[in-house]
A and B are shown apart, each in its own frame.
Chain A
Amino acid sequence: MELVTFFETLWLARIPILKGIGVTVSISVLAILVGTILGIGVGLALTYGNRPLRWLVRGYTDFIRGTPVLVLVLASYYVLGTIGIDLGPFQAGVLALAVFCSSHVGEIVRGALQSIPRGQTEAAKAIGLTFPQTFAYVLGPQALRQVLPAWVNTAAEMVKASTLLSIIGVAELLLRTQELISRTFMSLEFYFFAGFLYFVVNYGIERFGRYVERKTSIPS
């Protein structure tokens, strides 16, 4: 009886829920994409940059990683406005998550690059490859395989962190769910359902990561 009521309510609320999922996925994809691109830059700077650059970027990553994501989100929305950078809640939220993501990806990339034995670079040099070539054909492909599992983890973290944007009024899945609950009072059912949806998204990411890992694994 109650289950039927739940499904009826769910059907009626399908549009806001789907919109919520759409926003959650958009936030996540944008944050992961921008964060990964920035993060690769961060990782390269940490590994190959000269000393001043390394210190600068090290300061950036340590600061960001030591700050709660929620604080980053709030700062991005409220503080940037006071210095004249007026972002909407969606943009501010994505910016905060992307910055957070970049510091994590940066560390992952640095770790992967530094774990490659020096002999690889030397062998590449010895056949006459320039550094950009060495990176493109020798170091990059090896680092990519190492980065993948940790990157999948970070990507899943970003999806979860996207819920924090509900605080600044971004109508993502969690906020839509809360709105729904305040109308229907079916908190248990809808929180559980939202949790299930997040799980589905993250499970998809994890499967995708596994698939790429399998595809790129080195025979031995």
Chain B
Amino acid sequence: MTGNLLEIRDLHKRYGEVEVLKGVDCTMAQGDVISIIGSSGSGKTTMLRCINMLEEFQGGSIRIDGEEIGYDTAGGTRRRKKEKEIARQRAMTGMAFQQFNLFPHMSAAENVMLGLVKVKKMARDEARIVAEKWLDRVGLAERRDRFPGQLSGGQQQRVAIARAIAMNPKLMLFDEVTSALDPELVNEVLQVIKDLARDGMSMLLVTHEMRFAYEVSSRVIFMNQGRIGEEGNPREMFLKPQTERLAEFLKTSTFN
């Protein structure tokens, strides 16, 4: 068994006839911060969603800490794991979504507590303490009893990040978490992610914020038409792109 936190081998994903991932390989060590960039339709979000089985995939394997995610492939046959098992594996990763997806009928603190109480089987008092700690970390301690409808987009996204991270995942997945935000709210969210990166959290981010990817990532992956087009450290990637495709993509994206 390798010491990799995440190991993706030859990942294939089809929607009907359309193949959106055409064999992706990727490994990631503990503490890595990897940004996935690329134009829309290149498969970057799909790849992220396969890692926590929000999408089924038809070929290849994903391992987290050596544990095969979603399917059992032992003995040559490929069988989807039981729902309960998949639910357990999903809790190994945390995910923040473009649209926040907070539960609107629960306060900020209750949003964070739900997984702690129902999945981690924590006592409510204990869960509340953990929730408040994380809400404090994302700068929302005094908003803990507000409901999502009473929070700004940036605040909602920070609650969503707290909700995911409070579960103590091995790996955090960020799916274009600033794309739905007003420009002036983007920074408060990026700042939270930067803080987490500094603390050594392993993260995989799909992002359109090139400046942010450049600053925060230990490695950048450029996805192109369902494959990894190019990868490397951010400095090389952004300043000396090796492929025509990446050079083209960087030209059309704003680097501010």
Question: Could you list which residues of chain A lie within 8 angstroms of chain B, going by C-beta atoms?
Answer: 117, 119-120, 122-131, 133, 137-138, 141-142, 145, 218-220
Contact = CB atoms under 8 A, between A and B. Distances in A.
23 contacts: A117-B101, A119-B97, A122-B97, A123-B97, A123-B163, A125-B52, A125-B54, A125-B90, A126-B90, A127-B90, A127-B91, A127-B163, A128-B119, A129-B119, A133-B118, A133-B119, A138-B114, A142-B105, A145-B105, A218-B104, A219-B147, A219-B150, A220-B150
B164 A218 contact: no
B83 A127 contact: no
Contacts of B234: none
A126 B119 CA distance: 11
B84, B99, B147: most-surrounded residue (chain A CB, <10 A): B99
Contacts of B60: none
A158 B2 CA distance: 65
Interface residues of B, number: 31
A141 to B, nearest CB: 5
B99 A119 contact: yes
B103 A128 contact: no
Contacts of A137: 103, 114, 118
Contacts of A141: 105
B131 to A, nearest CB: 12
Interface string B89-112: 011011101010111110000000
B118 A129 contact: yes
A138 B146 CA distance: 17
A219 to B, nearest CB: 5
B167 interface: yes
Contacts of A133: 118-119
B149 interface: yes
Interface string B164-195: 10010000000000000000000000000000
A120 B106 CA distance: 12
B88 interface: yes
B101 A128 contact: no
B115 interface: yes
B26 interface: no
Nearest to A116: B104
Contacts of B247: none
Contacts of A138: 103, 114
Given A133-B118, A219-B150, A128 B105 contact: no
A130 B84 contact: yes
B147 A128 contact: no
B97 A130 contact: no
B87 interface: yes
B211 to A, nearest CB: 27
Contact of A125 (B84, B87, B102, B146): B87
A164 to B, nearest CB: 38
Instruction: Sort A-B residue pairs by CB-CB distance and give the 3 closest, nearest first.
Output: A220-B149, A128-B91, A127-B115
B119 A122 contact: no
A122 B105 contact: no
A126 B114 contact: no
Nearest to A139: B103
A128 B87 contact: yes
Given A128-B88, A129-B87, A131-B83, A123 B118 contact: no
B149 A218 contact: yes
B101 A120 contact: yes
A138 B101 CA distance: 11
Nearest to A133: B118
Contact of A127 (B99, B104, B164): B164
Nearest to B89: A128
Interface in B144-165: 146-147, 149-150, 160, 163-164
B192 to A, nearest CB: 18
A126 B103 contact: no
